[in-house]
């Protein structure tokens, strides 16, 4: 009878530790999910802005090319250079405008692309956090079923890594599990 009570008390303690582990990790995982959703929205916005800026850049370069070709044709075909001068000057102004505009558009597009890449690091951190915490919760459940404290410790190790990765995502820390991302990505 005494042995059963000790075993039951040990089992109760293990189950309590598993329950606390699951609650803490689940709440943290939920908070990370909210933040990760916001990061993904920002990534989508940066990607859309980058595409828009590259499209503007390409349109400006195309317009510049058309104006340059038109200017060249008028300069070659004009019989009276005095009459063609105002048109050529107008085209020269447009060409100068496009030459000034396109580097800024390219820089803006590159900046949006760089923002996307920076946000992607944090998205990867949240993904790694989610995977590690899910694994930790699964291991904790098996620890409760098998009444194995060493499995619970293994779950805590995965949970600690998952929480670390989530904190990296929250606080913008630069740690990036490149090997893990490369393997899974």
CB 122 within 8 Å of CB 39: yes
Three-state DSSP at 72 gives helix
| 143-183 per-position pLDDT tens digit | 999 999 999 999 999 999 999 999 999 998 988 877 666 76
Query: From the centroid of its chain, how far is CA 85?
Result: 52
| 77-116 per-position pLDDT tens digit | 888 888 889 999 999 999 999 999 999 999 999 999 999 9
The whole-model pTM stands at: 0.76
- What pLDDT does 149 receive? 93
Residue 78 Rama label (left phi>0; alpha psi -120 to 50; beta): beta
- Count of positions (residues) in the chain: 185
CB 128 within 8 Å of CB 167: no
Calpha distance 65→14 (Å, rounded): 74
CB 176 within 8 Å of CB 126: no
Examine the pLDDT at 1 and tell me if it is beyond 50: no
Band of residue 6 on the pLDDT scale cut at 50, 70, 90: low
Calpha distance 16→13 (Å, rounded): 5
């Amino acid at each position: 009878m005494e042995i059963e009570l000790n075993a039951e008390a040990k089992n109760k303690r293990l189950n309590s530790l598993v329950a606390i582990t699951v609650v803490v990790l689940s709440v943290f995982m939920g908070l990370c999910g909210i933040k990760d959703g916001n990061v993904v929205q920002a990534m989508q916005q940066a990607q859309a802005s980058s595409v828009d800026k590259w499209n503007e850049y390409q349109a400006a370069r195309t317009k510049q090319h058309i104006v340059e070709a038109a200017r060249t044709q008028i300069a070659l075909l004009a019989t009276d250079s005095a009459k063609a001068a105002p048109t050529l000057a107008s085209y020269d102004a447009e060409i100068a405008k496009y030459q000034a505009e396109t580097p800024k558009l390219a820089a803006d597009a590159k900046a949006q692309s760089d923002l996307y890449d920076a946000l992607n690091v944090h998205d990867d951190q949240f993904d790694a956090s989610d995977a590690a915490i899910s694994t930790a919760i699964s291991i904790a459940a098996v620890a409760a079923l098998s009444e194995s404290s060493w499995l619970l410790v293994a779950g805590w190790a995965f949970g600690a890594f998952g929480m670390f990765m989530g904190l990296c995502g929250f606080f913008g820390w630069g740690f990036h599990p490149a090997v893990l991302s490369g393997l899974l990505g």
